[in-house]
Amino acid sequence: MQDLSEEVRAVAVDEALTAARSQALRLEQLAIFSVRRELLVALYVAVATLIGGVGLLIKANLDRIGPVALLTGIFVASALCYAIALRASAARRERSLGEEYVLLLGALLFSTAVGYTEVQFHVFGASWSRHLLLLFVWHLGAAYYFRSWLVLSVALTAFAVWIGVEVRFGTVVDPLYPRFGAGPRSLLCALVFYLGSRYHLTEHAGPASGFRDAYLQFAANFGFWGALALGGDASTRWIGALILLGLAATVGRFGLRERRQSFLLYAVGYSTIGLVWLEALLVRDLLRASALGLFTVVGAVVVLLNLRARLKESGA
Amino acid sequence: MIIVRPTVSEERWLALADRYPALQASVEQLGKGGGWKTSTWLGRCLGFVLGLAGTGMLAGVLSYAPAPWLVGGLMLVVVAEWMVAQRRVFRSGVEEALYLCGTVAIVVELLVWSTGNNNALDVALIATAVLLVGWRLLNPLFTTLAAAGYSLAIAVIDGSLFGGSMYTREAAAACVLLAVGALVAGGRKWRRPSHDRMFDGLVIAMPWLAHGWLVQYNGSSTVATHGVALAMALAFLVVNLFVGVKRRQHAPLIGTLGNLACVAYSTYRLMPWPMHWQLIAAGAVLLAVVVLLERLLRHRSKGITSRAIEESSSVDFVQVVGAVHLSPAAGSPAPAGVQGQGGEFGGGGASGRF
């Protein structure tokens, strides 16, 4: 057991931090003990288990139960979850952690039901992947209505999957179709998500405060994935490398400016992966490629430690 | 011999700065952290990955050298020691990866040179090396890994590492003893935070490992074995929950979640119920219990509460990843021949591949 109350008492703080210190003292003396993280993990596991069970149920009992009965059951369960969230909204109160995850469960069940409907009844015919666009629109609307960044994450994932599997994307941007592979599609997603974050630029702390972060996290990751995918193709290798380095510089600067360590880590981590990959592709000799890779990794470690130091300095 | 690492007092101040971000600047102004450079857990993970990548690259460079494991291992340990002693880097992930890989490489090279063919001794020596690194760097993950390694050494006494009979019950018993010992030791107030974490690691991992030894590894477990495993998992679940609530400690409560998974697995193996119904029932029960618990604890301002006490205002990276992971994957459209037959199906939410 740990008790750092002796140290907490010794910390000299100004008026602004007095409350933080007394809170810390209460925590150290176990006057208050939060189990929020344990509950969060349990909720996540519960939702994942339920969704996994529903997926297996569909697979195993399609013949016995029949598609209409299965769909009705899943849609009803989804509606119940949405109803719980609606009840909180109607009472004009903030949803609890549990209700937040019940809402997420409702969104995931809805996704399952819509996907299953498409497979079973071929609503969109040859353009079957458009149901993902429908899911994106639905989840985006729900995310903004309920002010839930968890549902927003589901919406953004649906959008990315739609872009990823939309095999007839050429009908939208025809001239680019032959070259519209995984890299450009990821970069397009990143651009759309970044634009989404701009919409929340002046966001203040509150129920929707996670929206900008969710958009930015998605934008950064998809941007780097796109650059790496471009780097994997011989014809776009150098463009990919340039985009990767440009993104690393931009995301790193953003991380320093906003004091967000995760963005600094993306910048260092993804650029290191990209550079080592590029070196391995260009230098076929094991010894030389390993030596180059070693220098790159050492450089990345030095950059990482320096960035952390700068982050601390900027916070002081 | 002087081992350069944070003193007890320095480590306590570092733990304080780490635990309360709001007080971090004030704590650092006091300058009692001994000038040690620490990292957040996300930075530590990246540092560890970079350390592993660097080790891999060094292995490539030394691939034509004589005794590459020994030479490389020594180089890695020297660099890691230099980082700790000269650069005062602590818990950055990089030095931890280098120290771990270096030490294990040295031991493996020595084992390759030795003529003996004793699997248990080999595993025990590697586990000892990991334990020493854990002790040197005050790393609870390494000490827990070492304990797992010792349980593997017990399992392969007179046996083979791959295939053959293993002493799984004895290994499970050793894990149970370690878990109980750590649970008892965790009740004491330890001055050094990392020592506390080391016991936490054992409290969390050992019951799970004991369960794993009983039901999984030898692949020939019987109904009786599953019954024993279920009883053991249930016992640990109750004890961990009781201890966690009574002492207000996170480790036993996290251990409870692991025990819950063990109980679910053993129940699944013992009950002739279809898996999907078991998953749906387990998920629904867990969801209902947690929602209820959260509701009960939400408004409490003292004692055990479900309110966020110290929470970042920004969306956590892990939470975003978690939400994305839960989203059902899209597949390819099902060919007409399998329509209505429960085959593969595609599209967000119904691929069946979760």
Asked if B328 and A10 come within 8 Å (Cβ–Cβ), the reply is no
In this prediction, residue B351 carries a pLDDT of: 38
Residue A312, min C-alpha distance to chain B (Å): 9
- Confirm whether B241 is domain-assigned: yes
Q: Which of A10, A20, A286 sits opposite B60 (nearest CB)?
A: A286
Q: Are B25 and A16 in contact (CB under 8 A)?
A: no
Q: Are B304 and B245 in contact (CB under 8 A)?
A: yes
The domain in which residue B6 lies consists of 1-36
Structure tokens at A236: 């776009």
Closest residue, chain B, to A45 (C-alpha): B283
Hey, which residues 76-115 in chain A have their CB within 8 Å of chain B?
Answer: 96-99, 101-102, 104-105, 108, 110-115
Asked if B248 and A33 come within 8 Å (Cβ–Cβ), the reply is yes
* Average pLDDT score over chain A: 85
- Confirm whether B27 is domain-assigned: yes
Structure tokens at B109: 């090279």
Q: Which of B291, B325, B342 is the last residue of a domain?
A: B291
Chain B residues close to A120, C-beta within 8 Å: 339-340, 345
In this prediction, residue A174 carries a pLDDT of: 45
Asked if B53 and A297 come within 8 Å (Cβ–Cβ), the reply is yes
Residue A209, min C-alpha distance to chain B (Å): 7
Hey, which residues 171-190 in chain B have their CB within 8 Å of chain A?
Answer: 186-190
- Confirm whether B207 is domain-assigned: yes
In this prediction, residue A76 carries a pLDDT of: 93
Single out the residue of A166, A232, A230, A219 nearest to residue A188, CA to CA. Answer: A219
pLDDT at A314 over 90: no
Angle subtended at Cα B253 by Cα A101 and Cα A100, rounded to the nearest 5 degrees: 10
Q: What predicted TM-score, i.e. pTM, was given to this entire model?
A: 0.85
Choose the mutation target among B37, B291, B300 for the interface with A, i.e. most A CBs under 10 Å: B291
Asked if A53 and B351 come within 8 Å (Cβ–Cβ), the reply is no
Residues 6+ apart with CB under 8 A from B281: A53
Q: Which residues pair with A95 in a beta bridge?
A: none
How many domains does chain B divide into? 2
- Confirm whether B239 is domain-assigned: yes
- Confirm whether B24 is domain-assigned: yes
Spatial distance between the Cα atoms of B94 and B71, rounded to a whole number of angstroms:
19
Residue A169, min C-alpha distance to chain B (Å): 16
Single out the residue of A301, A98, A5 nearest to residue B55, CA to CA. Answer: A301
Map residue B337 onto helix, strand or coil: helix
pLDDT at A311 over 90: no
Percentage of the residues of chain A whose pLDDT score is greater than 70? 90
Closest residue, chain A, to B94 (C-alpha): A301
Residue spans of chain B under pLDDT 50: 313-314, 334-354
pLDDT in tens, A229-268: 888 878 888 899 999 999 999 999 998 888 888 899 999 9
